A and B are shown apart, each in its own frame.
Chain A
Amino acid sequence: MEGTAAAVCEILKYLIIHWKCETAEVSKGALLEGQLVISIEALNSKHQANTLHCVTTIASAGSIYGGLVLKKFLKEIQSILHGFSAKLNWTSEEASYSQDTSGVTPFQMIFEVDEKPKTLMTDCLIIKNFLHKIIIVLPKIRFNFSVKVNGIFSMEIFEAENEPTLNLSNGIALVVNYQHYVSAPKFGTTELLCSRIHPVLGHPVVLFIPDDVAGMGLLGELILTPAAALCPCPKVFSNQLNRISSISIFLYGPLGLPLILPSQEQPTAAIFKDTSYFIDWKKYHLCVVPNLDLNLDGDLVLPDVSYQVESSEGDQSQNMDPQGQTLLLFLFVDFHSRFPVQQMELWGVQTLLTTHLSAIFMESHSAVQDSIQITVGQVLEHHHQAVKAHQKLQASLSVAVNSIMSIMTGSTSSSFRKICLQTLQATDTQEFRTKLHKSFHETTQHRFLHHCSCEVKQQLLPERDDAEQSTEDAHENSSLELLAGTSGQVGNKRLKGSSLHQGVEETRAFRSAGALSPSEAARRRAEATVSPLTPSRSRTGPGSGLEDALWLQEVSNLSEWLSPGPRP
């Protein structure tokens, strides 16, 4: 990985760790909240042809970096980045920060590097992905990332504050809006009715550090907690989603910091090259191969490890729709100690994990494998149940449609046939059949939307009469989904024609959808809480200690499809 991206990512990691340690006493377990601004200004170098002189500024908007000892910071950062070939020129420490009259000390640091344009472009994509990875677990941090190349300016804002999240332990939360992980346009709006993923948390396991990498004197334990989910929600009843087509693995260290940066040499994730090292995919009849084709330039958060599921022979006859569902696997490695964790300790753990993750995982292979396998198994079992329930529904609807068609087409009453056609606005029996099937499908989907635990409104509003709620939710859920789909969209709104390429026409900057009023934002925020399973955990925020009861209820609802109902 090149200089600018590496520098920015490591600096941000350091700052977040420092920030967390500074605020640990004040708000244990609370999500980090604040704003960081990263800007890169690049101009043609006066000394080298085809080279851009890039000035990168990292600044904070508040006083979150009070207490940062700059000398120590620079020394530690340089020790991390010394291996990179790019030359980094640091500004003097006197110019690094300034004080305003309010007494608040905003943080700002600047460094310069010369890079090829293509390198800068790659760096920018890497930084974007890194920021995106951070906000999906630290949703209250907002990043303003702007790039100005020879006067052409572009900016993106990365934030996920108003999005539904799943609280995890130790002050991180997982954003459960599916749009971060799967492209929206591939699913028609009529079919995708649940905008969330429903992570299943696995049992945390202690990770043992191999002897040859130990010696840090850690006064605590490394705990791995896996979380898995299918994306999009398996309750979406579409033929496209009956199969799992890809697997994305995300690796996070303490405080929700990504362990792997894109394009980085991957010794960290080397063990994942063996697709079956931690998960026996054959149990689920999945043929999994590594997917090396990861597109850095995308709106989705890029996984650290990606697998592709190859179709079995039985699927050959079916339409080979590549869409399918994606199995998301999040591996959170956290550090727990009975003693207050010092910043350097955390930084050391982060470094240890980024450099020796494979070895650490291998040391605890059996436990890690069990935990991941069980977690994935649960999710896939849910998927399997959802598929069976869907098939059962489809079979029933098919019987209903065929029966109605049999009566309608067999009737000798022209008035009856005419009324049937007119009611569904069909011109012939073929069209009538199509509309009949579609109508049944839509009314059934509507019911499952009502039952979906994803709806924020069901969680926030006080209890109502069931009949009343069912009527209201029928209207409001759909509008809520529309609302989620438009205004609350993921913070990385790409500018139109964002110019990371040289010579691109003028662009404009805009802010992401901050148009939500506070009450609206509060209304739409939903934080399903999960019982933190780690042994020594801090408070996880509102409703801590509860399982994702709504998701579990939905799973039990799924089982209704599979159990015989009462006789008529």
Chain B
Amino acid sequence: MAFAPSGPEASFFEVLDQHRASLLATLRRGGGEPAGGGTRLASSSEVLASIENIIQDVITSLARNEAPAFTIDNRSSWENIKFEDSVGLHMISHCTTRKIKSDSPKSVKNFALILKILSTIYKLVQSNTYATKRDIYYTDSQLFGNQTVVDNIINDISCMLKVPRRSLHILSTSKGLIAGNLRYIEEDGTKVNCTCATAVPVSSNIQGIRNLITDAKFLLIVEKDATFQRLLDDNFCNKMSPCIMVTGKGVPDLNTRLLVKKLWDTFHIPVFSLVDADPHGIEIMCIYKYGSMAMSFEAHNLTVPAIRWLGLLPSDIKRLNIPKSTLIPMTKRDQMKLDSILKRPYVTCQPFWRKEMEIMGDSKMKAEIQALTFLSSDYLSRVYLPNKLKFGGWI
């Protein structure tokens, strides 16, 4: 092992090791990782051929004097999404679709923009160059109008061609950070060591990462950058070494999710989430664990159903006697979000999560992780997390 010994004694990680063993056993019972469905890595020639097929279809329609149209899966419809414990939320195989017609006043612009972005992707793949979604937006910002239009069309194309965004040579901008016991080599040969004092930005080319090396006993996903930085400042990675910490700074970007998935797939180490005790935090945690509706077509590459909720649990608030003055009343929006999460299919198989959410709903109060600082300034890194990890305080 290449890392210098630090952190607690080996006995500290007993429960963690047992948990890992349990996870591995589950994986073995389930026949290993579920086969990747929905999207698959495609070669450049495959992507080019797919785009040419689409163009041919368009031209054939025109030759028949029919207005061409694209058939797009309804990614944003719950009726097209199913839940599987081993995968999370993912699109059903025969889902409802919508047509983007060229002869409809409402959709002709979208039709044209899809062709525009297809032509951009075509050039990127042909030239083996990459661009971010933002780059694409700025190629003609006036035409596109706003970034969301570009993002949605790119996701639609990815879903339509059934290839991940990476295969389209479109990168998503990473905003996440990672720190801890981890080394790897980027596709361009850059060696990355995450053990340095400051965190390392999540790579924009997760699929190109190779030679991942770690001794980490667990991976901690931290919702907020503020909390992440606090843990860095408290030298948490060394105190709890060997471990890895990652944050998506709120709702995670694609690359952060891909990295978490890659670390799980490679090492099968326990993954825990540290989020605020509020509906927003729970939703973020669910994105890592079960996926999002928008990216459900790529769920197999993004979700880590093995994630456990470490904290801040609503039941911790009462257990730790966190002062009520540090709590925040839930807003109507919070309540609606909580109700929405409770109705989601994956909550039914998480009775402990449901219970925690019901505690939150009943109290009508929420709490940030920073509430723990009212107990002591370093309570999070010195007491809360170590106890949770040592005694299995996750659900």
**A residues at B contact (CB < 8 Å):** 389, 392-393, 396-397, 399-400, 402-404, 406-408, 410-413, 416, 419-420, 423-425, 436, 439-440, 442-444, 446-447, 557, 560-561, 565-568
A424's partner among B62, B104, B109, B152 (CB-CB below 8 A) is: B62
Interface string of B110-145 (1 = CB under 8 A from A): 111111101100110010000000000000000100
Q: Do A407 and B108 form a contact, CB below 8 Å, given A442-B65, A444-B103, A567-B152?
A: no
Are A404 and B52 neighbours in the complex by a CB distance under 8 Å?
no
Closest B residue to A415 by CB, please name it: B52
Closest A residue to B107 by CB, please name it: A565
Chain B residues near A412 (CB-CB < 8 A): 126
Interface string of B48-69 (1 = CB under 8 A from A): 1101100110111111011110
Are A566 and B106 neighbours in the complex by a CB distance under 8 Å?
yes
A389's partner among B61, B105, B110 (CB-CB below 8 A) is: B105
Interface string of B86-108 (1 = CB under 8 A from A): 00000000000000101111111
A423's partner among B56, B72, B107, B149 (CB-CB below 8 A) is: B56
Are B153 and A406 neighbours in the complex by a CB distance under 8 Å?
no
How far, in whole Å, are A412 and B126 apart by their CA atoms in the complex? 9
A206–chain B nearest beta-carbon distance, Å: 41
Known contacts A420-B56, A568-B110; can you find 11 more A-B pairs with CB under 8 A?
Answer: A389-B105, A400-B102, A400-B111, A402-B119, A404-B55, A404-B59, A404-B119, A413-B52, A419-B56, A423-B56, A567-B149
How far, in whole Å, are A425 and B123 apart by their CA atoms in the complex? 26
* Chain B interface residue number, banded: 35 or more
In the complex, which residues 310-363 of chain B have their Cβ closer than 8 Å to any Cβ of chain A? none
How far, in whole Å, are A400 and B72 apart by their CA atoms in the complex? 17
Are A423 and B60 neighbours in the complex by a CB distance under 8 Å?
yes
B376–chain A nearest beta-carbon distance, Å: 47
Are A447 and B103 neighbours in the complex by a CB distance under 8 Å?
yes
Are B122 and A440 neighbours in the complex by a CB distance under 8 Å?
no
A400's partner among B66, B105, B112 (CB-CB below 8 A) is: B112
Are A404 and B115 neighbours in the complex by a CB distance under 8 Å?
yes
Are B153 and A568 neighbours in the complex by a CB distance under 8 Å?
yes
Are B105 and A560 neighbours in the complex by a CB distance under 8 Å?
yes
Chain A residues near B152 (CB-CB < 8 A): 567-568
Are A439 and B105 neighbours in the complex by a CB distance under 8 Å?
no
Chain A residues near B72 (CB-CB < 8 A): 568
Question: What are 9 of the A-B contact pairs (CB < 8 Å)?
Answer: A396-B108, A397-B108, A399-B115, A400-B115, A408-B55, A423-B60, A424-B63, A443-B67, A568-B153
Interface assignment of B156: CB less than 8 Å from any CB of chain A: yes
How far, in whole Å, are A412 and B102 apart by their CA atoms in the complex? 27
Chain A residues near B266 (CB-CB < 8 A): none
What secondary structure prevails in chain A residues at the interface with B? helix
Interface assignment of B148: CB less than 8 Å from any CB of chain A: yes
A293–chain B nearest beta-carbon distance, Å: 39
B106–chain A nearest beta-carbon distance, Å: 4
Closest A residue to B111 by CB, please name it: A400
Are A407 and B109 neighbours in the complex by a CB distance under 8 Å?
no
B223–chain A nearest beta-carbon distance, Å: 27
Are B65 and A439 neighbours in the complex by a CB distance under 8 Å?
yes
A411–chain B nearest beta-carbon distance, Å: 6
Closest A residue to B104 by CB, please name it: A447
How far, in whole Å, are A439 and B52 apart by their CA atoms in the complex? 19
A546–chain B nearest beta-carbon distance, Å: 26
Q: Do A411 and B52 form a contact, CB below 8 Å, given A403-B115, A424-B63, A447-B67?
A: yes
Are B108 and A393 neighbours in the complex by a CB distance under 8 Å?
yes
B214–chain A nearest beta-carbon distance, Å: 40
Are A407 and B118 neighbours in the complex by a CB distance under 8 Å?
yes
Q: Do A446 and B106 form a contact, CB below 8 Å, given A411-B52, A424-B59?
A: no
Are A399 and B116 neighbours in the complex by a CB distance under 8 Å?
yes
Closest A residue to B156 by CB, please name it: A568
Are B63 and A423 neighbours in the complex by a CB distance under 8 Å?
yes
Are A561 and B116 neighbours in the complex by a CB distance under 8 Å?
no
How far, in whole Å, are A447 and B72 apart by their CA atoms in the complex? 21
Are B148 and A567 neighbours in the complex by a CB distance under 8 Å?
yes
Are B59 and A446 neighbours in the complex by a CB distance under 8 Å?
no
